Structure 1
Amino acid sequence: MRTRSVLIVLFDGVQSLDVTGPLEVLAGANTWQAAHGGAPAFEIATASLGGGAVRSSSNLCVLPDRDLRAATGLDMVLVPGGEGTRPADPALVAWLRERGGQAGQLVSVCTGAFLLAEAGLLSGKRVTTHWAYCQSLAHRFPDLDVETEPIFVRDGHVVTSAGVTAGIDLALALVEDQLGREAALAVARRLVVFLRRPGNQAQFSAQLSTQVAQREPVGEVQQWIVEHPEADLSVEALSQRARLSPRQFARVFAAEVGMNPGRYVDRVRLEAARRLLEDSRDSVETIARQCGYGTPEAMRRAFLRALDVGPAEYRRRFHPGFSRSDKEHHADRDPVV
């Protein structure tokens, strides 16, 4: 295995956790390698234009290893986000345009995607960024395919991630690419990251990704859905609980919550199922029933649609020490038709 050179770009106004999160993961991978008698997986360096100290958005002073202009032969360039990306430093954008494109892999965390886009390095790519800036990124750079929900997105040699802690998930995925799943999980445990999330997992939970309804009947129903995913959550049943007609309930719910009742129910059930797969040892069949799917096949279809992975495989990846059974393996296979 060849050691990969990684350059983390620094600038005034950088978000410090966008830098230190991935850096700690990659350094942890080197520690794991050393413990197993291997050479470092990553040669990590930080750099700024001119090589001078930078001040983060939280006023932390960071002294880089080198001047960006002296960097050559890079396997990976990682561009963090932060207030310093808005507006972009023209000199930094020029460096990225000239030198960043020569790197084997381009990685951005949070609003670092704006710097790569400004440098013309994301044209035609599928990308993501912090949820609060997805709309702005799509508006400013209409040639990008901006995905608002995933925590990170890969498109060829470009990998972009959502905000702040999503950079840790992205870095763990890079470690898995280089060293395998065992190493990535070991680093995650060392950093007390309970589970490594898949890239297409949503940036937000169902509750956080939606508005809280202000109208009392709708707000109460919204909370009741979260507490009772196994119940009859049809519009007809929910409208009776809200004491509204089905048509009026659907209209008011969408206006108050920001999505229609069916989509909200889908998100709540998926989140509940994910949590049980991660934390419990209940069977897929039991979890499907507890979360309102009725059958394992219905839950499998929901997982494949939202996460591109079936429930049993999801549990295998993200439940520490869980042994996948033949019955659960069958639950992830396409049904015989």
Structure 2
Amino acid sequence: MDPHRVVVVGYDDAELLDIACVTTTLDAVRHIDPALRYDLVLATPGGAPVTCSSGLVLNAQAVLERVKGPVGTLVVSGGLGHTGAARDERLVGHVRRLARESERVASLCTGASVLAAAGLLDGRRATTHWRFADELAAAYPAVEVDPRPIWIQDGNVYTAAGVTSALDLSLSFIEADFGPDMARWVSRAMVTYLHRPGNQAQMSVFTAAPATDHDTVRKVTGHIAASLDADLSTEALARLARVSPRHLTRLFRAHLRQTPGRYVRKARVTSAAQLLATTDLPVARVAARCGFASAESLRQAFAKEYGLAPSQYRTVAATTAASTAG
């Protein structure tokens, strides 16, 4: 079988982990089955070495301007140098040219700005690292920016949130190219706990850094995390905070960019996901513990947030945990 050709576009101040996450994950295929492999090439403007954000220097394998199609997958890395890269008309022009000759086009993290500058995201839904989502949306209004998922596919164009989400996107490519068994073997080789679906949220309410120092909001969010099975209606939370429901909603919108109701739903579904992955509790018990009225209401909320039924999530989590154990 001819190797699937992957061209990774790098530039100065690119994020090394974006590049390495894709290339290392894809390269694992040949170690598992020598008959299958990706042909991996790092292409840079002029073929010059690039200094990554960390200060480490990478040598290129190809001159971007001289790369010809066809290309299996074109990947534009992200990094702090994305703004300069998006303003580099020569680099953007060659990305646009190669995209026309590629089966798949992808960006990692802030590399989405390069695809946007090339017009490749116009009219498409796309994601980037949550810290840069507003910047991307403001600079390219023709792009439908969604900062929530870890990666998005729109046609043959893929955008990822960057850093470790590049691993999830790479595993999805392996699954598409060589099947789910190979993706699971690579996941095991990479010692990653779970091959996350693209619509997994970038941040959990439990792992995100505190979004505000506002005392009232912090008091309420702390109560939510500790009392998921309690009455967490906006009215009940407002009584706890000794403010009106309208004022509490204003505070949440101002400091958390969401309503109290939305925050509660996300907290509950995030906790449910953790219980499904780490316990054998029946779905109905998980629903009750996390404050859902029924297993069906959990299923609806879970499908909306993660794109999977609770039972499907539990199966994927158990299978991946078994494959990575020991």
For the residues of structure 1 that align with 2:186 and 2:243, how far apart are their CA atoms?
51
For the residues of structure 1 that align with 2:244 and 2:98, how far apart are their CA atoms?
61
Match of 2:25 in 1: 25
Which stretches in structure 2 are left out of the alignment for 5+ residues?
none
Per mean C-alpha deviation after superposition, the further-off stretch among 135-144 and 9-18 is 135-144
Query: What letter is aligned with 1:68?
Result: L
Query: What letter is aligned with 2:291?
Result: G
Per mean C-alpha deviation after superposition, the further-off stretch among 271-280 and 218-227 is 218-227
Match of 1:87 in 2: 84
Q: What TM-score do the two structures reach when normalised by structure 2?
A: 0.91
For the residues of structure 2 that align with 1:87 and 1:100, how far apart are their CA atoms?
20
For the residues of structure 1 that align with 2:321 and 2:184, how far apart are their CA atoms?
13
Query: What letter is aligned with 1:79?
Result: V
For the residues of structure 2 that align with 1:216 and 1:141, how far apart are their CA atoms?
36
Q: In the TM superposition, what whole-angstrom CA distance separates every residue of 1:150-189 from its partner, at most 9, and x where no partner exists?
A: 1100011111111221111111111111122222222222
Give the alignment's Cα RMSD to 1 decimal.
Answer: 2.0
Query: What letter is aligned with 1:85?
Result: H
Is 1:12 matched up with 2:5? no
SS class of match (1:196):
coil
Q: Which runs of structure 2 are paired with 1:257-268 in the superposition (5 Å)?
A: 257-268=256-267
Q: Which runs of structure 2 are paired with 1:108-123 in the superposition (5 Å)?
A: 108-123=107-122
For the residues of structure 2 that align with 1:112 and 1:205, how far apart are their CA atoms?
23
Q: CA deviation at 1:2?
A: 5.0
Per mean C-alpha deviation after superposition, the further-off stretch among 207-216 and 302-311 is 207-216
Query: What letter is aligned with 2:124?
Result: K
Q: Which runs of structure 2 are paired with 1:1-337 in the superposition (5 Å)?
A: 2-34=2-34, 39-72=35-68, 73-88=70-85, 89-207=88-206, 212-320=211-319
Q: 1:322/1:256 Cα in 2 relative to 1: closer, same or farther (>3 Å)? A: closer
For the residues of structure 2 that align with 1:132 and 1:164, how far apart are their CA atoms?
13
SS class of match (1:83):
coil
Per mean C-alpha deviation after superposition, the further-off stretch among 63-72 and 275-284 is 63-72
SS class of match (1:104):
strand
Q: CA deviation at 1:322?
A: 8.2
* Structure 1 residue ranges (4+ consecutive) displaced by more than 6 angstroms after TM superposition: none
Whether the 8 Å contact between 2:184 and 2:320 is mirrored in structure 1 is no
Per mean C-alpha deviation after superposition, the further-off stretch among 204-213 and 305-314 is 204-213
For the residues of structure 1 that align with 2:318 and 2:178, how far apart are their CA atoms?
20
Query: What letter is aligned with 2:74?
Result: V
Which stretches in structure 1 are left out of the alignment for 5+ residues?
324-337
Per mean C-alpha deviation after superposition, the further-off stretch among 264-273 and 126-135 is 126-135
Q: In the TM superposition, what whole-angstrom CA distance separates every residue of 1:177-230 from its partner, at most 9, and x where no partner exists?
A: 112222222222222211111101111112455854434343222112112212
For the residues of structure 2 that align with 1:256 and 1:144, how far apart are their CA atoms?
26
Q: CA deviation at 1:84?
A: 2.0
Per mean C-alpha deviation after superposition, the further-off stretch among 240-249 and 288-297 is 240-249
Whether the 8 Å contact between 1:213 and 1:222 is mirrored in structure 2 is no
Whether the 8 Å contact between 2:21 and 2:164 is mirrored in structure 1 is yes
Per mean C-alpha deviation after superposition, the further-off stretch among 10-19 and 39-48 is 39-48
Q: CA deviation at 1:248?
A: 3.5
For the residues of structure 2 that align with 1:30 and 1:230, how far apart are their CA atoms?
48
For the residues of structure 1 that align with 2:152 and 2:45, how far apart are their CA atoms?
28
SS class of match (1:111):
helix
Whether the 8 Å contact between 2:3 and 2:36 is mirrored in structure 1 is yes
Whether the 8 Å contact between 2:14 and 2:77 is mirrored in structure 1 is yes
Whether the 8 Å contact between 1:15 and 1:83 is mirrored in structure 2 is yes
SS class of match (1:154):
strand
- Percentage identity across aligned positions? 35
Q: CA deviation at 1:41?
A: 3.4
Match of 1:334 in 2: none
For the residues of structure 2 that align with 1:278 and 1:300, how far apart are their CA atoms?
15
For the residues of structure 2 that align with 1:296 and 1:128, how far apart are their CA atoms?
31
Count of aligned pairs between the two proteins: 319
For the residues of structure 2 that align with 1:42 and 1:86, how far apart are their CA atoms?
29
Query: What letter is aligned with 2:156?
Result: H
Q: CA deviation at 1:16?
A: 0.4
Whether the 8 Å contact between 2:194 and 2:320 is mirrored in structure 1 is no
